[in-house]
């Protein structure tokens, strides 16, 4: 079942769109702010994202800017802002489509179907990443070492997904925490991250005490080697 993430702070509209999509066979998750949106983005791996631009004091553009390069999901802007230059700017920034409120429900469903086709036709090479004996399939949420499946918890998978999507680059501890736990992460989450990293190394590294895949940059963060 295809999954749609609705990022909308108008609860009545959020409920309306959610009901519309569920009645048309979609799996739906909803967020009213960027913290929840980032969390659901990383834990639910939606196929299509419906993004409102005005979320209280927050701006939906921030979500687009942070996550466009991290996903093949189709991002459709759904906004009351009917400004040509704004539409062009956001499409240039990576949005796949822009629909203006109020909208016809049939048109919204049609644009979601187009978004699904775009995702399906994306370059399959971008759906996977391989480094020596390590392999991850983002579409199937599958990790293998030496061609054997590695069984990860949902949070372990989200962490290794984030690191491999940024392979070769140092991911700061704060960036990882924000990506996985949202902008309102706690000190307990920071402590848990170290535990998750240790568990990941036990499952992935040939020698967890001398890691060759997930490297620590003391005082900064972590890097998946490339």
Q: What pLDDT does residue 169 have?
A: 83
**pLDDT for the residue numbered 174:** 86
- Are β-strands 214-217 and 221-224 bridged in parallel, bridged antiparallel, or unpaired? antiparallel
pLDDT at 12: 95
Q: How far is CA 108 from the centre of its chain?
A: 22
CATH 3.90.226.10 fits 3-120, yes or no: no
DSSP H helices in the chain: 11-23, 34-44, 60-67, 84-92, 105-120, 154-165, 173-181, 187-204
CATH for the stretch 125-224? 1.10.10.10
* Contact of 137 with 165, CB cutoff 8 Å: no
Single out the residue of 135, 194, 195 nearest to residue 167, CA to CA.
Answer: 135
What tokens were used for 170?
A: 């140092």
Q: Return the pLDDT at 125.
A: 47
- Helices 154-165 and 34-44 meet at what angle, rounded to 10? 100
Q: Is the pTM of this model over 0.85?
A: no
Domain range summary for the chain, segments of one domain joined by +: 3-120, 125-224
Cβ burial of 59 (10 Å; 0-12, 13-18, 19+) is middle
> What per-residue confidence (pLDDT) applies to 121?
53
Return the structure tokens found at 80: 């009351």
What's the rounded Cα separation, in Å, for the pair 125 and 217?
29
Position 126 scores a pLDDT of 61
Cβ-Cβ contacts under 8 Å for 15 (sequence gap 6 or more): none
Q: Which residue stretches of the chain have pLDDT < 50?
A: 123-125
Distances (CA, A) of 73 to 15, 77, 83, 149, 159: 22, 13, 24, 25, 18
Q: How far apart are CA 153 and CA 124, in angstroms?
A: 25
Q: What's the confidence (pLDDT) of residue 119?
A: 64
């Amino acid at each position: 079942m295809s999954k749609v993430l609705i990022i909308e702070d108008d609860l009545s509209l959020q409920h309306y769109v959610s009901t519309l999509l569920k009645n048309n066979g979609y799996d739906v998750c909803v967020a009213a702010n960027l913290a929840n949106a980032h969390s659901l983005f990383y834990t639910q791996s939606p196929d299509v994202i419906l993004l409102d631009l005005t979320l209280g004091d927050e701006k939906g553009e921030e979500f687009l800017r942070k996550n466009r390069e991290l996903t093949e999901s189709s991002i459709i802007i759904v906004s009351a802002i009917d400004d040509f230059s704004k539409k062009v700017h956001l499409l240039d920034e990576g949005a796949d489509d822009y629909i203006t409120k109020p909208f016809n429900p049939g048109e919204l469903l049609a644009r979601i179907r187009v978004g699904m086709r775009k995702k399906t036709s994306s370059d399959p090479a971008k759906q996977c990443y391989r480094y020596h004996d390590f392999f991850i399939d983002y579409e199937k949420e599958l990790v293998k070492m030496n061609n054997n499946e590695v069984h990860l918890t949902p949070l372990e998978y989200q962490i290794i997904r984030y690191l491999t999507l940024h392979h070769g680059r140092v991911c700061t501890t704060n960036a990882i925490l924000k990506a996985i736990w949202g902008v309102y992460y706690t000190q307990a989450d920071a402590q848990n991250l170290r535990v998750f990293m240790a568990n990941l190394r036990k499952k992935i590294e040939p020698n967890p005490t001398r890691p060759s895949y997930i490297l620590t940059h003391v005082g900064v963060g972590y890097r998946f080697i490339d």
